[in-house]
Amino acid sequence: MSQQNAPHHPLGAATRLLHAGTPPLQGGSGPVNVPVVRTSTVRFEDSAAYADLHHRRVAGERVASYGRHGLDTHRALEDAVIALEGGHRAFLTPSGLSAIALVLVALLSPGDHALVADSVYSPVRRVDDSLLQRLGITLEYFSPGQDDVAALIRPNTKLLYVESPSSLLYEVLDLPALTAIARQHGIAVAADNTWSGGWFYQPLALGANLSIQAATKYIAGHSDVMQGIVVTDSPALSQKIAVAYEALGLTIGADDAYLALRGLRTLPVRLAQHQRHATQVAEWLLQHPQVSRVFYPALPSDPGHALWKRDFSGANGLVSFAFANGVDARSAEGFVDALHHFALGASWGGYESLALVAQPERLREHSAWQDTQPVVRLHVGLEDPADLIADLHQAFAQVAARTRLAA
């Protein structure tokens, strides 16, 4: 079908996501998916073409004059991500952490102060300790839902950095309230949106200025790519990020861009299935005598449920739970070791199930986490939920047997 025959009513999100970045037909035909365009050197017709492209790129246009700036595969992925997050420009980085570091370095200068939610992905603190402090930049951690953020803002505060739901325990933040405070003070807001894959949460629509994702997780979706994405909401912020992106020489390979784009096309169906399976597992855990708490915002019993319902249109495959009294950290490790269908591993967002003993106390400076019972983080994958539940059942039984022996 040609563009002329395309329907004119506003397109749904899945339609936009599936068709953004599709290559144009050439000579009457073409592939559905964009080819992998690998290159370092770009050739030019003549010096005038070279000068023209250079000027357009410096002016902020996304044209390629060298492999580092990315070619067709990168553009297609950027277009699809912009369609997903509703932003102005997308920047592709070699990992989720490098996307976070890019934002912090691009927006903060010596003497600047930034407020960071204390429940964010913990390696953010490594960027702080090992890089930002040396540059004379101060990050201050606040406890979302407890601290008065407006009272923490200083004259040199330039950035509010959040993640919702948070890592490990999935605390849902009131992002519209936080972005309203930041806007009053002229402070930019960056939100890590990895949890939703960009599909059922739109931080930019809720007032954030930058959305960051580890595309490593749900966008790539197959545990075989490392990648980060920064999406900006305005030309001014795009320019700031572009300057640091250029200066740091950041880029990704065309093969990785291709894999992320390929994953992105099936993001909505994968996430819906992760949610269905995770909900079954979470509900089963909720009634288990060896479990004291289940962390999953889609459960009505979760403290973040009301905010989640207001701001999100779905949930993912991450479910954490705390053991009931009497189970110590070693037994929690025994539980994870006893699982057959959940691999023991960090990261998440692939099609497979994972389990890890989490350490939420390590995230906190304000010790909002005061429980002492060990927490296990599950990534509920696309296997049959009945098999996953049977696996959890036998692992709990092993822990119970061991606890009885020790008593």
Ligand X SMILES: *Cc1c(COP(=O)(O)O)cnc(C)c1O
Q: How far is the CB of 269 from ligand X (least distance, A)?
A: 21
Residue 149's CB: how many other CB atoms inside 10 A? 21
Minimum CB distance to ligand X smaller for 20 or for 225: 225
By the rule CB under 6 A, 167 interacts with ligand X: yes
By the rule CB under 6 A, 223 interacts with ligand X: no
Q: How far is the CB of 201 from ligand X (least distance, A)?
A: 12
The secondary structure of 82-134 as a DSSP string is HHHHT-SEEEEESSHHHHHHHHHHHH--TT-EEEEETTS-TTHHHHIIIIITT
Distance CA 97, CA 103 (A): 10
Interface residue with ligand X, options 169, 181, 210, 226 (CB under 6 A): 226
Q: What is the CA radius of gyration of the chain?
A: 23
x/- letters, 184..203, toward ligand X (CB under 6 A): --------x-x---------
Catalytic residue among 68, 240, 276, 402: 68
Catalytic residue among 217, 270, 293, 377: 217
**DSSP 8-state symbol, 166:** P
Q: How far is the CB of 216 from ligand X (least distance, A)?
A: 3
| 121 part of the active site | yes
CA–CA–CA angle 205, 170, 230 (5° rounding): 45
Residue 196 in contact with residue 173, Cβ under 8 Å?
Answer: no
The secondary structure of 181-192 as a DSSP string is HHHHTT-EEEEE
**DSSP 8-state symbol, 306:** H
Minimum CB distance to ligand X smaller for 245 or for 396: 245
Tokens, residue 89: 């420009």
Closest CA to 81 of 274, 267, 254: 267
Q: How far is the CB of 345 from ligand X (least distance, A)?
A: 12
Binding-site size for ligand X (CB under 6 A) equals 14
Minimum CB distance to ligand X smaller for 321 or for 348: 348
Tokens, residue 268: 């909505």
By the rule CB under 6 A, 319 interacts with ligand X: no
Interface residue with ligand X, options 121, 218, 308, 369 (CB under 6 A): 121
**Torsional sign, CA 245, 214, 74, 259:** positive
| 240 part of the active site | no
By the rule CB under 6 A, 238 interacts with ligand X: no
**DSSP 8-state symbol, 45:** S
Q: How far is the CB of 38 from ligand X (least distance, A)?
A: 22
By the rule CB under 6 A, 297 interacts with ligand X: no
Residue 120 in contact with residue 162, Cβ under 8 Å?
Answer: yes
Question: In this chain, which residue has its C-beta nearest to ligand X?
Answer: 96
Interface residue with ligand X, options 65, 73, 216, 353 (CB under 6 A): 216
Residues contacting residue 123 through CB under 8 Å, at least 6 positions apart = 97, 100
Name which of residues 61 to 120 contact ligand X (CB under 6 A). 95-97
Catalytic residue among 112, 118, 128, 192: 192
Q: Which stretch binds ligand X (CB under 6 A): 64-72, 148-156, 211-219, 291-299?
A: 211-219
Q: How far is the CB of 53 from ligand X (least distance, A)?
A: 31
Minimum CB distance to ligand X smaller for 78 or for 192: 192
Name which of residues 50 to 69 contact ligand X (CB under 6 A). none
By the rule CB under 6 A, 163 interacts with ligand X: yes
Minimum CB distance to ligand X smaller for 92 or for 214: 214
How do 113-117 and 188-192 pair as beta strands? unpaired
Question: Could you give the maximum distance between any two Cα atoms of the chain, in Å?
Answer: 82
By the rule CB under 6 A, 214 interacts with ligand X: yes
Q: Which stretch binds ligand X (CB under 6 A): 73-81, 197-205, 213-221, 371-379?
A: 213-221
Closest CA to 296 of 276, 321, 274, 272: 321
Amino acid in position 131: L
Name the strands in the sheet holding 354-358, side by side, starting at the edge strand that comes first in the sequence: 291-295, 318-323, 375-379, 354-358, 343-344
Distance CA 280, CA 273 (A): 11
Minimum CB distance to ligand X smaller for 207 or for 228: 228
Binding residues (CB under 6 A) for ligand X: these are 95-97, 121, 163, 167, 192, 194, 214, 216-217, 226, 228, 347
Q: What residues act catalytically?
A: 68, 121, 192, 217
